Chains A and B, each alone.
Chain A
Amino acid sequence: MSDEKMIPLWEVFIRPRNGLNHKHVGSLHAADGELALQAARDVYTRREEGNSIWVVRAEDILASDPDKSAENFDPAADKIYRHPSFYDIPDEVGHM
């Protein structure tokens, strides 16, 4: 077994129904894309979980570094002027 070649890892994304985004659901191993799609159908859609599947080689996905999450994402926290409730308008104007 140890001399066998590794079967590549794929990440699986499912769209539950039209109008929604594809969402990551898990991963699986398959020799190529066609087999990955078939396996994803068997493993992740046995109960009508979706109507469309994407598979992506896991090694092709780049992830942001969790050690840099503060510098990446914290700057958004003090920019309340990006939200509509920051701005005062007369009550009489109603919904805007």
Chain B
Amino acid sequence: MYSQGLIGANTETQETPEFLAAFQARIDAEEKIEPNDPMPAAYRKTLIRMISQHAHSEIVGMLPEGNWITRAPTLRRKVALLAKVQDEGGHGLYLYSAAETLGVSREQLTQELLTGKAKYSSIFNYPTPTWADIGAIGWLVDGAAIMNQVPLCRCSYGPYARAMIRVCKEESFHQRQGYELMTSLAEGTEEQKAMAQDALNRWWWPSLMMFGPSDSDSQHSDQSMAWKIKRFTNDELRQKFVDATVPQAELIGLSMPDEKLTWNESKNNGQGGYDFGEIDWDEFWQVVKGHGMMNKDRINAKRKAWDDGAWVRQAALAHAEKQNQRKAAA
């Protein structure tokens, strides 16, 4: 069935050239691959890595915004932020559930996050010192996430594609509430506008980094494209995001912190697009390797939540066991 079919099942495959060619033919015919179907070990491994990193990102992503729930300036903003953070938790759960269909256990995934072994999106290792950061995250971080996630709705692996369809349906509200928040600040007092611009200055480059290394440096891209796990390269998606977002900033009187940003008519096969400055990849790799501003805080917060919740998990299991024993005795 969905998750369970694989547990204890022998997922080893004889990866003869015929097997791999037959698998590729299914992919090329746009057939979806489902949990119990035979698949190359590397396909399985790539998906576990991608889906679990994605799930961890959703879960860790609750922290920077959760930081502002109690201090949201109005009830309207507070209900929106609460609903958004709850959605992120839900997205993490859909994705863990999709990863589990590949034969990896939830316990193992949680363990990898808590020990710092698992990677998650570098963006969540930046701090949220002002209220405008909540607007910038919704607009830019969720905006970039949507760019990445919409093509994943057509991913060749069925459970991942289905989870992404749910996620994308919900994500649109996240981006709109963020942009609305930024618009309000940009139309506000000088101080409020300055706060919005400052948040944009701090989040713009990290948002561009969310698409991952340049195509020339990305170690996973080619095979993932051939397997139709990914449909666009990192650089293609980054360009789409820049082209979509720059006019949104202009519309509300904010500007991107990039002197090299210029319109280039010849880009995108003559449709035009923006040239933009060089991304600081040293900063990206520093954050990925655990040396960002908030890496330690994020993992510590997750560990604390796990430890503080231990008695709840134990009590729930003990209660379930007692009920089962009573039922058996009756």
Contacts and interface: CB of A to CB of B under 8 A. Distances in A.
A94 interface: no
Interface in A27-57: 27-32, 35, 42-43, 46-47
A11 B4 contact: yes
A78 to B, nearest CB: 21
Given A27-B3, A28-B97, A66 B36 contact: yes
B221 to A, nearest CB: 28
Interface string A12-38: 000000000000101111111001000
Contacts of A67: 38
A35 B316 contact: yes
B93 A43 contact: yes
Contacts of B7: 59
B246 to A, nearest CB: 31
A85 interface: no
Contact of A63 (B5, B93, B170, B314): B5
Contact of A32 (B87, B306, B314, B323): B323
B86 A46 contact: yes
B183 to A, nearest CB: 24
Interface stretch (B73-81, B106-114, B146-154, B275-283): B106-114
From B3, B90, B170, residue with most partner A Cβ within 10 Å: B3
Contacts of A66: 34, 36-38
Given A29-B106, A43-B94, A46-B87, A63 B1 contact: yes
Given A7-B317, A31-B313, A24 B34 contact: no
B167 to A, nearest CB: 12
A1 B4 contact: no
Given A27-B100, A28-B97, A43-B94, A1 B3 contact: no
Contact of A47 (B5, B170, B306): B170
A11 B306 CA distance: 24
Nearest to A64: B36
Interface residues of B, number: 38
A1 B2 contact: no
Nearest to B3: A27
B320 interface: yes
Interface string B105-130: 11100110010000000000000000
B163 interface: yes
Contacts of B93: 28, 43
B319 interface: yes
Contacts of A5: 317
A38 to B, nearest CB: 11
A58 B1 contact: yes
B310 interface: yes
A6 B94 CA distance: 19
A46 B90 contact: yes
B313 A27 contact: no
B111 A1 contact: yes
A96 to B, nearest CB: 36
A32 B318 CA distance: 10
A9 B3 contact: yes
A9 B100 contact: yes
Given A9-B100, A32-B320, A24 B313 contact: no
Given A7-B106, A47-B169, A66-B36, 18 more contacts: A4-B313, A6-B105, A11-B1, A11-B4, A26-B163, A27-B2, A28-B97, A29-B106, A31-B316, A31-B319, A32-B316, A58-B1, A58-B3, A59-B4, A61-B4, A63-B5, A65-B36, A66-B38
